[in-house]
Structure 1
Amino acid sequence: MSRTLRDTLLDQARDLFQRAGIESQSPEQLIAALDVSPSTFREMFRSKADLVMQVTLHDIERQKQEHAELFARVPNPVGRLLSLLEMGIRDLQKVTAPTYFADLIQHYPEAWETGQQHLMSYSYPQLHGLLNDGVMQKLLRGDINIGLVSKIIIEQLNMMLNEQIFPSSRYNIAEVFRSVYLYYFRGLCTDEGIQAASSYFARM
């Protein structure tokens, strides 16, 4: 798939927001950082809020594409679950601005809500299917409540991004993510599942 100028600008804006925060950048600073003319910027983005929304939608599509490539490469449902975990850790490690998520939640609620809707319409069914496959293949415990566990995994993400619980000034979000999910997933595995996933656990 050929990349467009819009794709490039959205990637650059995402990287800038994650590195420096969203609210720290005025529209004029954004235009300068993206190295485009004001007229080109205005043709593509109605406002800074529109840019943030487009960045959110663009990143959702990137994740879906990466997941499709992963699923084509990894047949094992436990391997898929843990590879998704690795991707999540990698993505969160790129967010070095401590204000990034707070900026998104407080100042761009529509973009934040779009991300939340994506979790429920895409991530929840994806998790539910992988957990079900893992149980059927006896890689995950047969007594787990798949719907409840899927919900818990989603809500754990919201908990981690809650500044009241894990303030970014004190906690590294990628390390919190790893600590929450790695041990939780391990507890869901059967002995066979742990053996199948041993290489993932060893490198996380």
Structure 2
Amino acid sequence: MNQTLRETLLEEALLLFQTKGIVNLPLEQIMTTLDISPTTFREMFRDKEDLALQIMHYDIARQKREHTELFARVPDPVGRILSLLELGIRDLRKVKSPDYFSDLIQHYPAAWAVGMQHLDDYSYPQIHGLLNDGVVQKFLRGDINITLVSKIIIEQLNMVLNEQVFPPSRYDVAEVFRSVYLYYIRGLCTDEGIKAASAYFARM
């Protein structure tokens, strides 16, 4: 895919924020790292807050493209759920700064709100549909409350990112994410589902 200059800058800025955090990163350093002039920056972004907001929109679009490609490759619902989990772990491992998520939550509420809305409008229906398919195909237990379990899966992400529960100085967020979701999803599986997803469980 040919990227526009804006997309390239957003991708590089996302990596920069994930590595260095956001709040303590001077705008001058951002422009220097992105190798753009103040004039070019101002043409594309009003300020650092607008940059963070555009990054969130860009990253959500990237995730949706990856999910479309993933679903074209992986036919069964449990495999899709676990593949989404793998992508989530991979993305969280890119975050090297312990301040990245707290910076977003506390200081860039507009960007964080977009992310939370994405969970409600996109992730929840996606998970709900996959759980329903899993139950119908007997990969997942037939007695699960799909609506409630979908909500639990979404809310578990808020728990994983809650610094009061899992301080980043003590816990690796990607490992917390893996531990929370892997064992929970495994517990939802029937014996048939576990067999079908054995390769995923083995490598995660």
TM norm structure 1: 0.99
> What does residue 99 of structure 2 align with?
99
Matches within 5 A, 1:1-204: 1-204=1-204
Q: How many residues align?
A: 204
For structure 2, which runs of at least 5 residues remain unmatched after alignment?
A: none
Residue-by-residue CA offset, 1:76-133 (whole Å, 9 max, x unaligned): 1000000000000000000010000000001001110110000000000000000000
How far the C-alpha of 1:26 sits from its partner, in A, is: 1.1
Task: Show structure 1 runs of 4+ deviating over 4 A.
Answer: none
Which residue identity does 1:138 align to in structure 2? K
- Match of 1:2, SS state, is coil
Structure-2 separation of matches of 1:16 and 1:144:
41
CA distance in 2, matches of 1:124, 1:146: 11
Q: Distance in 2 between matches of 1:164 and 1:99?
A: 13
What amino acid is aligned across from residue 156 of structure 2 in structure 1?
Answer: Q
Separation of aligned partners in 2, 1:12 and 1:25 = 14
* Letter in structure 2 aligned against 1:50: D
CA distance in 1, matches of 2:2, 2:20: 28
Q: Describe the SS at the equivalent of 1:46.
A: coil
- Quote the offset at 1:2 in angstroms: 2.4
Same amino acid, percent of matched pairs: 72
Q: Distance in 1 between matches of 2:152 and 2:111?
A: 23
* Unaligned residue ranges in structure 1 (runs of 5+): none
State the AA in 2 paired with 1:107: H
- Using the alignment, how far apart are the partners of 2:202 and 2:75 within structure 1? 19
Write the distance in 1 (CA, Å) between the matches of 2:33 and 2:104: 20
What TM-score comes out, normalization by structure 2 length? 0.99
| Distance (Å, rounded) in 1 between the aligned partners of 2:121 and 2:35 | 35
Helix, strand or coil: the match of 2:154?
Answer: helix
Q: What displacement does 1:24 show?
A: 2.0
**Aligned-residue CA RMSD (Å):** 0.5
- Deviation, 1:70, is 0.1
Question: What is the rounded CA distance, in whole Å, between the counterparts of 2:183 and 2:104 in structure 1?
Answer: 29
